[in-house]
Amino acid sequence: MSQTTTSAAGQRPGGTRRAHRDTTSPIAGGVAAGLAVHLAVPVLWVRTFFVATALLGGFGLLLYAGLWMFLPSGQAFEVSAPGLESATRTGKRPGRRSRLRDAGPAVALGALFFGVVLGFEGIFGQGVLFWPVVLGVAGIALLWRQADEAQRERWVDSSGRIDPFRAVFGNGGWAAYTRIAAGLGLVLTALIVFAVVAGQARFAVPVLVAGLLGLLGLALVVGPWVVRLVDDLGAERAERVRTQERADMAAHLHDSVLQTLALIQKNSHDATTVARLARSQERDLRQWLFEADTADATTLAGALKEMAADVESQHPVVVDVVTVGDCDLDEALRPVVLAAREAVVNVAKHAGTRRADVFAETTPTAVDVFVRDRGAGFDADAVAPDRQGVRSSIVDRMVRHGGRADVRSAPGEGTEVRLHMPRSAHPTDQETR
């Protein structure tokens, strides 16, 4: 089972932990969400902080805007298993859901904005500069928001080349066009309103100010890309390395699949071999496509999966491993894996069935492993005393290491081996990893 653990801070292994904006769950710019992850506090606190400090002369708003500008957006390269990524890219999985489908945040932001406007008017009166500034700020905020969107979609895009159109509009869509149009419109309106309000009488100053505002607007419009270019370059380099790694792996798998198919063709008369080859290849691919990083045998689940693969390659049996919870595989748990292996091998050898189910459940106090088949079964009492397979390699092994094993079987009803190993009996559990 996949243990998906993606954290914003985990992106640069070995590097310092840097704050990010979380662009996957933004209300405005994802600043609060990103900070909440960075500071490890609930996002509600951060949002409350911003709203509260916004009342202190707009300090919160300015802080938010500043952080929005200078914090790099995180979660850029969230890597999941290749099969899932590819399915997402080709639209075979449901995509990211927009948070703003729920009108709540929009209403709240609107109310906040309205409140700021009223507050500003209350304090300064309807000054000459007020409305142009408000409109300009709103427009610029919209443009920044679009820049975020475009930047993120460029990351998701696999083609890698930077298309100027895409750089601005992202994947397009009415939302992007509306944002750009509204943003530019607001900035322009701000300039016009300013000119009208200021009147034509005082000629020189308005022109100067308008020019400055225009320049400022332009700088802010281009700003997002310039400021983030440096970040993007580093990120793109990392992505390139990753792409190359993936290409190598794909090539490797290609080879292995082709080899297996060749073997299957050669052995097409031998159904058992064909089935075994197909099964081992299937497992190989499945693991790579959907399970990202559970292939290693350093955890109990990984070790059981590896054990199953190993037995499958030597015996004509299909072993399905289902695990709930997981823990590090230490010396205390190795006997469990070995006993489970013995049980699975017994299924392959004696049960007369092609299938074994392995279920492992890890709780803080114990590890339970069940190996079940629907094969011939046997009468436990009738087993000759000289047949020591089950006794010595399963039951005695478990008992020796502080656990226990039960074998339940009846002729015609299959067999189930239950292994139980308490974890609290090994307090050095955590230290010996």
Partner 1 sequence: MTETTPGPTGPAGPVRVVLVDDHAMFRAGVRAELAASGAGVVEVVGEAADADAAVDVVHRLRPQVVLLDVHLPGGGGVEVMRRQPSHDTLYLALSVSDAAEDVIGTIRGGARGYVTKTITGPELVDAITRVAGGDAVFSPRLAGFVLDAFAGSIDVAAVDEDLDRLTEREREVMRLIARGYAYKEVAKELFISVKTVETHMSSVLRKLQLSSRHELTKWASDRRLL
Question: With respect to partner 1, which residue has the nearer C-beta, 101 or 387?
Answer: 101
* 8 A C-beta contact, residue 344 and residue 356: yes
Stretch that binds partner 1, among 15-23, 57-65, 113-121, 286-294 (CB under 8 A): 286-294
Q: Check binding of 95 to partner 1 (CB under 8 A).
A: yes
The CB-of-199 to partner 1 minimum distance in angstroms stands at 54
Stretch that binds partner 1, among 54-62, 83-91, 116-124, 193-201 (CB under 8 A): 83-91
Question: With respect to partner 1, which residue has the nearer C-beta, 170 or 375?
Answer: 375
Q: Check binding of 158 to partner 1 (CB under 8 A).
A: no
What do you get for the CA distance between the two ends of the chain, in Å? 21
Q: Check binding of 77 to partner 1 (CB under 8 A).
A: no
Stretch that binds partner 1, among 88-96, 134-142, 269-277, 338-346 (CB under 8 A): 88-96
Question: With respect to partner 1, which residue has the nearer C-beta, 125 or 364?
Answer: 364
Q: Check binding of 89 to partner 1 (CB under 8 A).
A: no
Question: With respect to partner 1, which residue has the nearer C-beta, 318 or 367?
Answer: 318
Q: Check binding of 427 to partner 1 (CB under 8 A).
A: no
Non-local CB neighbours of 121 within 8 Å, separated by 6+ positions: 130
Q: Check binding of 101 to partner 1 (CB under 8 A).
A: no
* 8 A C-beta contact, residue 393 and residue 399: no
Question: With respect to partner 1, which residue has the nearer C-beta, 146 or 409?
Answer: 409
| Of the residues 286, 334, 349, 433, which one makes contact with partner 1 according to CB under 8 A | 286
Task: Say how far apart CA 56 and CA 35 lie, in whole Å.
Answer: 20
Q: Check binding of 245 to partner 1 (CB under 8 A).
A: no
Q: Check binding of 2 to partner 1 (CB under 8 A).
A: yes
Question: With respect to partner 1, which residue has the nearer C-beta, 90 or 126?
Answer: 90
Q: Check binding of 291 to partner 1 (CB under 8 A).
A: yes
Q: Check binding of 49 to partner 1 (CB under 8 A).
A: no
Q: Nearest CA to 35 among 77, 62, 78, 73?
A: 73
The CB-of-372 to partner 1 minimum distance in angstroms stands at 4
| Of the residues 290, 310, 330, 406, which one makes contact with partner 1 according to CB under 8 A | 290
The CB-of-65 to partner 1 minimum distance in angstroms stands at 28
Q: Check binding of 257 to partner 1 (CB under 8 A).
A: no
Residue 409 corresponds to which tokens in the numbers above? 């079987």
Q: Check binding of 146 to partner 1 (CB under 8 A).
A: no
Q: Check binding of 14 to partner 1 (CB under 8 A).
A: no
| Of the residues 14, 16, 56, 92, which one makes contact with partner 1 according to CB under 8 A | 92
Q: What is the 3-state secondary structure (H, E, C) of the chain?
A: CCCCCCCHHHHCCCCCCCCCECCCCCCCCCHHHHHHHHHCCCHHHHHHHHHHHHCCCCHHHHHHHHHHHHCCECCCCCCCCHHHHHHHHCCCCCCCCCHHHCCHHHHHHHHHHHHHHHHHHHHHCCCCCHHHHHHHHHHHHHHHHHHHHHHHHHHHCCCCCCCHHHHHHCCCCHHHHHHHHHHHHHHHHHHHHHHHHHCCCCCHHHHHHHHHHHHHHHHHHHHHHHHHHHHHHHHHHHHHHHHHHHHHHHHHHHHHHHHHHHHHHHCCCCHHHHHHHHHHHHHHHHHHHHCCCCCCCCEHHHHHHHHHHHHHHHCCCEEEEEEECCCECCCCCHHHHHHHHHHHHHHHHHHCCCEEEEEEEECCCEEEEEEEECCCCCCHHHCCCCCCHHHHHHHHHHHHCCCEEEEEECCCCCEEEEEEEECCCCHHHHCCC
Query: Footprint of partner 1 on residues 351-410 (CB under 8 A)?
Result: 357, 359, 361, 363-364, 370, 372, 374
| Of the residues 323, 346, 409, 415, which one makes contact with partner 1 according to CB under 8 A | 323
Question: With respect to partner 1, which residue has the nearer C-beta, 236 or 291?
Answer: 291
Q: Which residues bind partner 1 (CB under 8 A)?
A: 1-2, 4-6, 24, 78, 80-81, 83-84, 87, 90-95, 282, 286, 289-291, 318, 320, 322-325, 357, 359, 361, 363-364, 370, 372, 374, 416
